Amino acid sequence: MTNDSTSINLNVKGKAANTFDAIVIGSGISGGWAAKELCEKGLQTLMIERGKDVVHLKDYPTATTPNWVFKHHNKMPLAVTKENPVVSRCYAFGEATEHFFVKDNDHPYIQEKPYDWIRGYQVGGKSLLWARQTQRWSKYDFEGPGRDGFAVDWPIRYDDLAPWYAHVEKFAGISGNRDGIETLPDSESLPAWEMNCVETTLASKIMSNYKDRFVVQGRCAHLTKPNPIHLEQGRSQCQSRTLCERGCPFGGYFSSNSSTIPWAQKTGNLTIAPNTVVHSIIYDEKTGKASGVNVIDAITKETTAYFAKIIFVNAACLNTNLILLNSTSNRFQNGLGNDNGLLGKYVAFHNYRGTVNAAYDGPEDKYHYGRRPTQPMMPNFRNVYKQETDFLRGYMVFYGADRSVGNYDGIGAELKNAASEPGLWNISMMMQGETIPKESNHVRLSKDKLDPWGIPQLITSIDYDDNDVKSMKDFLNTASEMLDKVGCKAIKQNDSKQAPGLDIHEMGGVRMGQDPKTSLLDKWNAMHECKNVFVTDGASMTSTSTQNPSLTFMALTARAANHAVEQLKKGEL
């Protein structure tokens, strides 16, 4: 399939029927926000999704199914895990959710270095599957690369994004406290979930012993107390079922399916094309802009094209890189906008390798109860204000406390009585470390292997480095020290040695920056060399911060979409 707009074979009526004001590629968290904002502003918008249609409420087949009803009690058979070693490593993959995940052989890719690429191809994408942790980045996260001299400087700062954080938070619904911490700016929040008694005790002890460390309740995209805007979306209070990855019939957590997509549909301006694989973006050399996209029917393999004045690429980080790399023309022979040769490079992720577990002599007359979609967290305290260690940047810490069953001695009534007595309190800590974007961490297209739709397979060449190992060791030792100081026992450190990708926080490859020589996107997420193409998913990120990225994707998308509409009205696009 060619990417030369002059060779598209469509009659005038056919082209008119396939022409929209805007095209959004992808329907996940950022794609849903792009569609919402564009449709609200009156643009006829086509949302293209390579996977099947999933309609809120209608297409959550296991949402209310008890585990014991599944043939294997929601565990995957050994044969399935052997056939799917990558996706089987994901914590959310099971009998109740496998229909929302891409099996390993369905969309093959080439691992030059071990990389677990976790994907969800359906309307809503991975917004049905995400862990829903949502924190704003701080000014130090946006200033870090420029200050410390890695990657390139962000073309925006926290103040540029702050009103857009507020914009998406109010609509999505974010629970959490207003903690007044400059390293973790407050959100427009709903009431927070509560810490249990031991978590509260340990938080107080940690903050008493370490003045630079703050322990707060995790912020997450769950409706603890819905506001009118959430009820207007048809959503209701989170029931704390912790069955989120199956799709929530209550709309208790934020997803494209329950929130942004139905909202966009209410305008009458949204058209959704499921089972449609984007092959490439069409570049028109006469106008110097993109004119549309070439697509392939996922089922019939038939090809066609759609046209628009604005194109948002939100296919999720690695697929966004793949589409742009495959969008070649006489003008851009190495990928759309890729004059500097940096497309697909400087991919980064979050380092989850380090965990620490311990026991705690907590109150014997109390127990943790209920289910909760978040846990306490500690914002980064390493290299925040200046470089202080032998590694760059730092890590966020998540921790939790629970009480296990005492023992399983005996049989019958004896076993029942033993199991009914709770044992020690267990403490777990995990890191979410910032990795440093490197040119060597990259993706590229295979020259000889194609996927089932005739598109070059993606090659992943992404790995940890010494900085990541140093950061992990610092976490392991620091967490152990903290737990020891607050009275924990039997402290155990663990390095999972998991491959990159399992964090599902891949970022970069189409990074933002001030200089077209060293970046692909400008401060509005528009391509430097093709101004009507916007990238606002993880691919656009210049660095990773230590915070979860999804809230920032949403804010960047809303900001870019509103800017695109303004430019379109001015005749600039």
Domain CATH number, residue 96: 3.50.50.60
pLDDT, mean of residues 462-480: 98
Whether residue 458 is found in the same domain as residue 431: no
**How large a percentage of the chain has pLDDT more than 70?**
97
Answer yes or no: is 434 within a domain: yes
| CB of 66 closer than 8 Å to CB of 95 | no
Q: What tens digit of pLDDT does each residue of 522-551 get?
A: 999 999 999 999 999 999 999 999 999 999
**Domain extent for 299:** 5-114+128-133+242-349+440-462+503-569
- Amino acid letter for position 435: T
Q: How many residues are present in the chain?
A: 573
Write down the pTM of the prediction: 0.96
pLDDT, mean of residues 412-419: 80
Report the C-alpha dihedral over residues 369, 374, 376, 381, rounded to 10 degrees.
170
3 state DSSP class of 281: strand
Place of tokens 């990225």: 549
Whether residue 334 is found in the same domain as residue 389: no
pLDDT score of 9: 41
Average pLDDT score over the chain:
95
Whether residue 66 is found in the same domain as residue 98: yes
Q: Return the DSSP state at 457.
A: E
Alpha helices (runs of H) in 136-270, residue ranges in sequence order = 139-148, 158-172, 197-209, 228-232, 261-266
pLDDT, mean of residues 94-101: 97
pLDDT score of 12: 53
- Select from 48, 45, 40, 50 the least CA-distant residue to 19: 45
Whether residue 453 is found in the same domain as residue 513: yes
pLDDT of 50 over the 80 cut: yes
Answer yes or no: is 150 within a domain: no
How many domains would you assign to the chain? Answer: 2
Q: What tens digit of pLDDT does each residue of 116-164 get?
A: 999 999 999 999 999 999 999 999 999 999 999 999 999 999 999 999 9
pLDDT score of 176: 98
Quickly count helices (H) and strands (E) in the chain. Answer: 12, 22
CA distance 28 to 257: 9
pLDDT score of 3: 55
pLDDT score of 422: 82
| CB of 365 closer than 8 Å to CB of 459 | no
pLDDT score of 120: 98
Answer yes or no: is 142 within a domain: no
Q: Which two tokens stand for residue 364?
A: 């014997």
pLDDT score of 5: 36
pLDDT score of 13: 62
- Select from 544, 534, 536 the least CA-distant residue to 564: 534
Q: What tens digit of pLDDT does each residue of 278-337 get?
A: 999 999 999 999 999 999 999 999 999 999 999 999 999 999 999 999 999 999 999 999
Q: What tens digit of pLDDT does each residue of 7-25 get?
A: 344 445 668 889 999 999 9
Whether residue 480 is found in the same domain as residue 524: no
Whether residue 181 is found in the same domain as residue 61: no
- Select from 452, 495, 454, 502 the least CA-distant residue to 477: 495
| CB of 123 closer than 8 Å to CB of 27 | yes
- Amino acid letter for position 387: Q
pLDDT, mean of residues 254-262: 98
540 CB-near residues (< 8 Å, 6+ apart):
510, 511, 512, 521, 525, 556
Q: What tens digit of pLDDT does each residue of 234-250 get?
A: 999 999 999 999 999 99
- Select from 435, 349, 355, 430 the least CA-distant residue to 394: 435
Answer yes or no: is 146 within a domain: no
CA separation, residue 457 to residues 297, 321, 326, 342 (Å): 18, 12, 10, 19
